[in-house]
Amino acid sequence: MKVLLVGNGAREHAIAERLAQDAELYSVMSKKNPAIAQLSKEYWICDIENAESVSKAISGREFDLGFASPDATLAAGVSDALAQTGMLVASPTKAASRIEWDKSYMRNLLTRHKIKGSPKHVVVTSEADARRAIKDYGEVAVKPLGLTGGKGVKVSGDHFTEIDDLADYAKGLIEKDGSALIEEKLVGEEFTFQCFCDGSRISTMPPVQDHKRAYEGDAGPNTGGMGSYSSGTHLPFTRESDIEEAKKILQGVIHAMKKDQAPFHGVLYGQFILTAEGVKIIEFNARFGDPEAMNVLPLMNDSLTNTLLSMAEGQLSRPSFSDDCTVVKYLVPDGYPDKPHKDACVDIDAHGMEASGAKVYFASVYEQAGKILTTGSRAFGILGRGKSLDEAEAIAEKGCSFIRGPVWHRRDIGTSALIKKKTDRMLSIRGKK
């Protein structure tokens, strides 16, 4: 089967690795990812956030199945463009991916269809309205309505302590975008729950906890994600009822989108938070998480190619997953996230990496004259897998030592100390109910 993948990050490297196991892989990238290029029979470089550019790149070629991956690519309607060439497509249309690129639409969908889990919220179009909402809610999250790469949300207590500062941030968003979303602040532990969708049904993957903060101890600014871990069907701080509640919300969203004539075929990613009042929804993404894809895809016991094909055909197969634990740690350039060093050469000890049991996924790097160089974004995802979180974390940490150069990572991700801190915090929050 000829499968076309659009995207070139570490998430797409993880997708490409699975597709190449039983399909003939072709890829379209914005920059050459050396690992994806090696897995592909043929690849093209173009602006993947422009549907016309992607169509032009693959003009005259025929594929059986297409999968567009990054958020901005989906928002640009690339899935629609792939479908117009005649191939089956397993990623959501522009209309369906609106669940991610328009937070106002997402909240309205949940409200109209009476799906539980939304905090109090309001879309504001003036500074006066923003101030009124901030005073009304007390502690808040101020969000742009569109895509921000996980870095656009500002929260009371974390980023700002004064009403004036929050109102000024909202004012800036309104001046730029015409509106902003203000929500009551949710307190708890976040987790990612991803599922395959065929427009009507879902099949869930193991839940994952991501770490957005740049520095150890969950300090510093938000990033695209510094690493993540999974531990089978549950996370250390979740109960079975929490996972079932989140699953019902995901299924409810798929039913609602079908009723609204925007059926969702693809991977739906729910960003949830466990609070004293139960499971709440922070946002939805219309694609695999990054780094979360690296946690779950290696655990799949079934073919990713066949699963994507079943989604595209509207006859979802339900793959099973290993209960192994995984830890992913992202290596990022020195100076990241504020002033990252660019174009720095890094050396990869592939033999040492393989011997350690770790896997490396190439993210935002490029190849020049046989050398691997960094950009200003996250460079490599390092995966450790084991029967316990301790084992998986030790493998991931060891794997990080086999990449040498001006890069660094959060050493605390997946450690028993950090996970205990999160578990104890959740027990305390539940106790306050």
pLDDT digits (tens, 9 = 90+) for 96-153: 999 999 999 999 999 999 999 999 999 999 989 899 999 899 889 999 888 866 667 8
Gyration radius from the chain CA atoms: 21
Residue 162 CB neighbours (<10 A):
9
Dist CA 241 CA 247 (whole Å): 10
- Say how far apart CA 230 and CA 290 lie, in whole Å: 13
Q: What is the C-alpha to C-alpha distance for residues 196 and 267, in angstroms, rounded to an integer?
A: 5
Q: pLDDT at position 145, please? A: 85
pLDDT reported for residue 431: 86
User: DSSP characters for 37-58?
Assistant: HHH-SEEEES-TT-HHHHHHHT
pLDDT digits (tens, 9 = 90+) for 200-253: 999 999 999 999 999 999 999 889 899 999 999 999 999 999 999 999 999 999
Residues 6+ apart with CB under 8 A from 161: none
Average pLDDT on 353-370 reads 95
Cα dist. 165→126, 213, 227 in Å? 15, 21, 30
pLDDT at 433 over 60: no
Asked if residue 48 lies in contact with residue 29, where contact means CB atoms within 8 angstroms, the answer is: yes
48-84 tens-digit pLDDT:
999 999 999 999 999 999 999 999 999 999 999 999 9
Q: How far is CA 383 from CA 129, 257, 310, 329, 380, in A?
A: 45, 34, 28, 7, 10
pLDDT for residue 149: 65
The residue with greater pLDDT, 431 or 321, is 321
Say if residues 393 and 400 touch (Cβ distance below 8 Å).
no
Give the per-residue SS3 of 4-25. Answer: EEECCCHHHHHHHHHHCCCCEE
What SS3 class is residue 97?
coil
Q: What is the mean pLDDT of the chain?
A: 95
Query: How far apart (Å, rounded) are the C-alpha atoms in residues 394 and 380?
Result: 17
pLDDT higher than threshold 80 for residue 320:
yes
d(Cα 113, Cα 94) in Å, to the nearest integer? 21
Residue 47 pLDDT > 80? yes
Q: What percent of the chain has pLDDT over 90?
A: 86
> Which residue did the predictor score with more confidence, 96 or 164?
96
- Given this model, what pLDDT does residue 424 score? 96
- What mean pLDDT is predicted for residues 195-204? 98
Query: Cα 337–340–344 angle (5° rounding)?
Result: 145
* Domains and their CATH numbers in the chain: 2-89 (3.40.50.20), 120-184 (3.30.1490.20), 187-433 (3.30.470.20)
